[in-house]
Chains A and B, each alone.
Chain A
Amino acid sequence: MKKNSKAMVSAAIYSLLLFMLFGCTKENVQTIDQRNWQLVWSDEFNDSAGVSPDAAKWKFDIGVGPNYDGWGNAELEYYTNRATNVSLDGEGNLAITARRESYSGSAFTSARIKTIGLFEQPYGRFEARIKNPWGPGIWPAFWLLGANSETIGWPQCGEIDIMELRGQKPNIISGTVHGPGYSGSASITKSFAFEDDRFDVDYHVFAVEWGEDYLDFFVDSTLYQRITPDNVTGNWVFDHPFFIILNVAVGGNYLGFPTDQTPFPQSMLVDYIRVYKEAGQ
């Protein structure tokens, strides 16, 4: 999610190529070991409509990024903690809503929440059941960032993007890792595409299963990508606690900018987030 702002177009093409080469092909679905996952943390978002995310679990990112550069990606939104941008919908979901509105110098608002300092964990299964927003320039994401990011910096801290979607391609999601030597356009990524369905019409479970030497990316029950230390073109940095981030960006180098035709408002609906640890670990 945190990108090097250069050469994103080529990254997009690369993702697409990967998808075209490997997406949905049978030989790429691997058989994995059955694991005994035990729930250690979750948010079911079962409160009444308009309620803000549980402050014991979530913090807000506010504004346009610490360097005023659209969070390193030239994103256009201003992140707020207002209920109109982030609150429960009263039907069991968290809604992060991007709006086209003038606010503090930005043309769009949205929200980004994170568990930093509240919940951080290495390894395990991180999953969320999400119905995505849509439209050119809409960029929802469910991702993990190394909890040491503020001390050692990005990309040394590591980043695991469990689900990212470009609103102009609502039938494709991507799973990606960034680390030293493989960040931004050089990140390790693969896309998963529906040939005849979209990620914005129904809920789907997006998950990563993370062990000491692997990261398995899932859509529903399908494993579509395994990343191991052999796959990354630098040091394997997925060996320390990470925290969770949920956000909906508007525009940015990753996917281009919204157009007049982009329908607003757009909500990412999150039914739940659950984090597991493997029993005995």
Chain B
Amino acid sequence: MKNIKSNSLIAALITILLIAVSCERKLDGLELATYPTTPEVFVDGFSTGLYYAAYGTSKVTAFSVDKEVKYSGTASMRFDVPDAGDPFGSYVGGVFGTNPGRDLSGYNVLTFWAKASEPAVIDQVGFGNDMGASKYQVSITSLAVNNTWKQFFLLIPDPSVLTQERGMLYYSATPQNGRGFTFWIDDVKFEKIGTIAHEVYQICNGNDLNSTGAQGTYTILNCNAIFNLPTGINQTENIAKSYFTFTSSDTTIATVNSSGVINLKGNGTAKITAKVGNINAVGSYTLTTGGPGFPAPTPAVAAANVISIYSDAYTNVTIDDYCEHWEWGQGQPWHAIITTEYSFGNLNDNNFIHYSNNNDTWDLKRMISPIKFKSNPQNVSSMTYVHYDVWVPSVSTYTTNKPTIALQDATGIQVGVNSTSSLATDQWVSIDIPLSSFSGIDKSKIAYFVFDNFPSDVYVDNIFFYSQPTLPTTAAPIPTFLPANVISVFSDAYTNVSGTDLNPNWGQATVVTQIPVAGNNTLKYTGLNYQGIQLGSSQNVSGMNFVHLDFWTANSTSLNIYLISTGPVEKAYSLTVPTTGWTSVDIPLSAFSPVNLTDVIQFKFDGNGDIFIDNILFHK
């Protein structure tokens, strides 16, 4: 469906008609104390004061008055939807309005009849589009039409507000599977009828939404009305938020304006509800300051390499207790209990754990949340990292602590790793700690994962152990540059500069090997500190534009490549590590200025970790 909003339009391309042909009312020459209440929009012609404006990007000639096909009387409105790609516009749409507006407060529905040249769907029909603020817009979407006339109804949610409405009818339609079709609309009029019943107004699609989040702006969405047609079936229509009166349960925490925009400004909880006229709307939006407003990032590690404690992305191990209560020194004067409460939350179908409500007998300013799986101890000896995502609300207390993650084995030996700084607040923070940091415990039988010394109030997700693959499992991508445009140093795809020494002895500690990766010869630097490549002969690369290489590393945190000319003149270029799979870079040679590009003799890498490299070459 084309999402067409009146304020995004180049409005009013053509005003076809401005004729007064109302059958009953003669308003000419009268001074009106109030706005006219004319019910007819289009019955057999344009009603009094009605004008038409096609959407600027639509096929503006699509609408015409048809005297042959009609539901009743002498004429109907005809709309010719073009084929997709029509140079004069590939959809139809427009607004029928009046100026001045009409007083529609005595009606409860807009009704019309429609048919089409073939079974088709009209994307949208509505009223209340005045090509301005369109404050009281109402629409139904995806109207199924066929070759038989069918009546449609749009409920006026609160007629009392429509005392000077200018938007009588608007519509849009797009081709069906690329092909155009024709539809007709007839007998469009506002009516007050008793065969429409059971209207229900909804915000948030009728759901009671809960959200925790940082202070800021939130919006009520999915406002609609459901009502029962004379045929006993329900019709849903979209209605403008202006029909609703929104209320906040606590305006010191959150305020809400007439557009359904919520300003969450205090610490606590506020519930937003709404009414249309005197009718309570179904659905609510409860906002609590503090927690995340959106889920933690979905982990990217393959499930085969994960032992998960808590994550929607993986199958989790059986947990004995998500927060065992620990105490120290029973019977001693320094007997201490630090109890943390936990609850599970959900955002966009993504679950998280909320730890809070610290009861800290000695005011130690610690929160401890031990996750126990002792009845099901985990062998993580093949894993290399432990990961968690955490959201610390800024309202949390003692956020200056240096949080610690501790692991405890089945025999009770516990080792903690302190983070080097406090955690950033009001955002998801992803932490990965190398398991090598937890020394002295039996990693074949881990029984607890412990959040220790954490802020008083935290949200956590995606707690898991994982192993980083230490080798790439796929070959580097094969370069596709024309051989004539390449000077290759190390690649199976091209002829390399002959005589090149891939491991000149420059006193480095790096171990250099060549290994096949998926059948592709790959250069491997193990334990990189620095490493050179001595070209077989000086190369003039001034006719080239880029240095290309592919690299892969799971554990490097620093990697630079240098180009060197005689002198030596060298220049470093920093590469982003670690990588997710192979990274291909094309570094402009200008980045290596002032290296003499007519006399390039060496490459050098420095940094750390284990690096896999392929396809080192110059190209245009």
- A residues near B (Cβ < 8 Å) are 134-136, 138, 167-171, 194, 196-198, 200-201, 259, 261-263
Known: A136-B233, A261-B233, A261-B234. A197 touches B228 (CB 8 A): no
Q: How far is the CA of A262 from the CA of B228 in the complex (A)?
A: 10
Q: How far is the CA of A31 from the CA of B228 in the complex (A)?
A: 36
Q: How far is the CA of A194 from the CA of B230 in the complex (A)?
A: 11
Chain A residues whose C-beta falls within 8 Å of the C-beta of B193 in the assembled complex: 196
Let me know if B194 and A170 touch, CB within 8 A. no
Looking at the assembled complex, report how far the CB atom of A154 sits from the nearest CB atom of chain B, in whole angstroms: 29
Which residue of B is nearest A197, CB measured? B194
Which residue of B is nearest A136, CB measured? B232
Let me know if A198 and B195 touch, CB within 8 A. yes
Interface centre among B198, B231, B232, by most chain A C-beta atoms within 10 angstroms, is: B232
**B197 in the interface (beta carbon within 8 A):** yes
Q: How far is the CA of A135 from the CA of B235 in the complex (A)?
A: 12
Please name 20 pairs of A and B residues whose Cβ atoms are closer than 8 Å in the assembled complex, sorted by A.
A134-B197, A134-B198, A135-B232, A136-B232, A136-B233, A138-B232, A168-B231, A168-B233, A169-B231, A169-B232, A170-B228, A171-B195, A171-B230, A197-B194, A200-B197, A200-B198, A200-B228, A262-B232, A263-B233, A263-B234
Chain B residues whose C-beta falls within 8 Å of the C-beta of A198 in the assembled complex: 194-195, 197, 230
The 8 A-B pairs at the shortest CB distance, nearest first, are namely A196-B194, A261-B233, A197-B194, A168-B232, A135-B232, A167-B232, A201-B197, A134-B232
| B contact face: mostly helix, strand, loop, or mixed | loop
Chain A residues whose C-beta falls within 8 Å of the C-beta of B230 in the assembled complex: 169-171, 198
Chain B residues whose C-beta falls within 8 Å of the C-beta of A136 in the assembled complex: 231-233
Cβ proximity bits B221-263 to A, threshold 8 Å, 1 near / 0 not? 0000000101111100000000000000000000000000000
Pick from A138, A201, A262: contact of B198, CB below 8 A: A201
Which residue of A is nearest B200, CB measured? A263
Q: How far is the CA of A269 from the CA of B24 in the complex (A)?
A: 44
Q: How far is the CA of A259 from the CA of B232 in the complex (A)?
A: 11
Chain B residues whose C-beta falls within 8 Å of the C-beta of A194 in the assembled complex: 194-195
Which residue of B is nearest A167, CB measured? B232
Q: How far is the CA of A103 from the CA of B170 in the complex (A)?
A: 46
Chain B residues whose C-beta falls within 8 Å of the C-beta of A134 in the assembled complex: 197-198, 228, 232
Q: How far is the CA of A198 from the CA of B231 in the complex (A)?
A: 11
Q: How far is the CA of A251 from the CA of B211 in the complex (A)?
A: 42
Which residue of A is nearest B228, CB measured? A134
Looking at the assembled complex, report how far the CB atom of B605 sits from the nearest CB atom of chain A, in whole angstroms: 64
Q: How far is the CA of A138 from the CA of B234 in the complex (A)?
A: 14
Q: How far is the CA of A198 from the CA of B230 in the complex (A)?
A: 8
Q: How far is the CA of A261 from the CA of B231 in the complex (A)?
A: 11
Which residue of B is nearest A263, CB measured? B234
Q: How far is the CA of A171 from the CA of B232 in the complex (A)?
A: 9
Chain A residues whose C-beta falls within 8 Å of the C-beta of B233 in the assembled complex: 135-136, 168, 259, 261-263
Let me know if B228 and A263 touch, CB within 8 A. yes
Looking at the assembled complex, report how far the CB atom of B198 sits from the nearest CB atom of chain A, in whole angstroms: 7
Chain B residues whose C-beta falls within 8 Å of the C-beta of A167 in the assembled complex: 232
Q: How far is the CA of A4 from the CA of B232 in the complex (A)?
A: 25
Q: A169-B232, A200-B197, A261-B233 are in contact. List 8 more A-B contacts (CB 8 A).
A: A136-B231, A170-B197, A171-B195, A194-B195, A197-B195, A201-B198, A263-B228, A263-B234
Looking at the assembled complex, report how far the CB atom of A258 sits from the nearest CB atom of chain B, in whole angstroms: 10
Looking at the assembled complex, report how far the CB atom of A114 sits from the nearest CB atom of chain B, in whole angstroms: 26
Q: How far is the CA of A170 from the CA of B198 in the complex (A)?
A: 12
Q: How far is the CA of A201 from the CA of B199 in the complex (A)?
A: 11
Q: How far is the CA of A194 from the CA of B232 in the complex (A)?
A: 14
Looking at the assembled complex, report how far the CB atom of A110 sits from the nearest CB atom of chain B, in whole angstroms: 16
Looking at the assembled complex, report how far the CB atom of A220 sits from the nearest CB atom of chain B, in whole angstroms: 15
Q: How far is the CA of A136 from the CA of B198 in the complex (A)?
A: 15
Which residue of B is nearest A135, CB measured? B232
Chain B residues whose C-beta falls within 8 Å of the C-beta of A168 in the assembled complex: 231-233
Chain A residues whose C-beta falls within 8 Å of the C-beta of B197 in the assembled complex: 134, 170, 198, 200-201
Which residue of A is nearest B191, CB measured? A196
Looking at the assembled complex, report how far the CB atom of A16 sits from the nearest CB atom of chain B, in whole angstroms: 14
Which residue of B is nearest A166, CB measured? B232
Q: How far is the CA of A198 from the CA of B228 in the complex (A)?
A: 11
Q: How far is the CA of A187 from the CA of B231 in the complex (A)?
A: 25
Chain B residues whose C-beta falls within 8 Å of the C-beta of A261 in the assembled complex: 233-234
